[in-house]
Amino acid sequence: MPFREHVLALDIGGTKLAAGVMSRAGEVRSFVRTPTRVEEGPDKVIERLLDLGHEALAAAGHGQADMAAIGIGCGGPLDPVTGRVQGPPGLPYWDDVPIVDVVSAAYARPAFLENDGTAAVLGEYRFGPWRDVAHMLYLTVSTGVGGGLILDGQVHRGAAGNGGEFGHVIIDWNGRVCGCGQRGCIEAYASGSSIARRASEALSTDAASSMRGLDVVTAETVSSHARRGDPLARRIWDETTAALGRAIAVMINVVEPQLVVLGGGVTRAGDAFLLPVRRAALTQAMRPAGAAARVELSSHGDTVGVVGAAASAFFYLDDGATA
């Protein structure tokens, strides 16, 4: 196989690590994942990430020497130029971690770091089913909320390389405290960790709920119990989709994208997530901007982080001339 035809992609999330091998044509040759376990600290997490990468290589029938490069997607803030992770809210103790140097040395291949939201929008733009889209906004709704932006066919990174932190759009300046330290960010209302936290807070009262007595309450728990008609879960879920829809309306007004793509673990709820978010976003956006936009789920499902990290590696290998 041609040397430059494949890359190894590593996706670092607050809840899970994922790895996969992907071809230049967009074929995901392997995909594996494991819990992050952030409480173990960066060294242990990175050790297991590297092991996971080797597992992905073996599953694809490749060795590390077959890879053109390693793409790494991670939540920000980070510095894609120096290859350092700089204290993301979802990764405690990851302060100035030189992840690119570590990964490049471990695999003896060049490595590239990208904000996971920016990586994902590159993945959707390059490998998604969308045609004739020059303006695309991507939101990942997972442990946290992140995003990426394509404008006029060009990826937008901003002055410091972290442009697209849509999870920290503030919808209530007197609202809930976010992991970033501010109040009222959309991440404090729509992320998977926030959904679970708000449900647990509600369960600490005397409110009746079918979730009461469960050992662990997650965003998926809230979603499934809401579908079954549980009133407390339904309230939390409705608040979540309304908050996210409002935030997306703001983003549509500012950017006027043709397409908003939603990915991440919370989107596994499918239409129960997409339909109310889409309705809230498009009805609250200004009329011309809302009429020009579509809101859709990612075409890549759980592999979106790996696809994005791979797309970023190809982007840099190709000199980053265009998205």
Q: If you classify domain 130-298 with CATH, what class do you get? A: alpha beta
What pLDDT is stored for residue 143 in this prediction? 84
What pLDDT is stored for residue 319 in this prediction? 63
CA–CA gap between residue 34 and residue 311 (Å, rounded): 21
Residue ranges covered by each domain of the chain = 3-115+303-317, 130-298
| Equal fold, 3-115+303-317 vs 130-298 | yes
What pLDDT is stored for residue 318 in this prediction? 83
CA–CA gap between residue 22 and residue 4 (Å, rounded): 11
Tokens linked to 288: 């011309």
What pLDDT is stored for residue 321 in this prediction? 44
Would you say domain 3-115+303-317 falls under CATH 3.30.450.40?
no
Per-residue pLDDT of the chain (323 residues; tens, 9 = 90+): 344 789 999 999 888 999 999 999 889 999 999 999 999 999 999 999 999 999 999 999 999 999 999 999 998 889 988 999 998 888 989 999 999 999 999 999 999 999 888 999 999 999 989 888 999 999 999 888 989 999 999 988 877 766 778 888 888 899 899 888 899 999 999 999 999 999 999 998 888 899 998 889 999 999 999 999 999 999 999 999 999 999 999 999 999 999 999 998 899 999 999 999 999 999 999 999 999 999 999 989 889 899 999 999 999 888 654 44
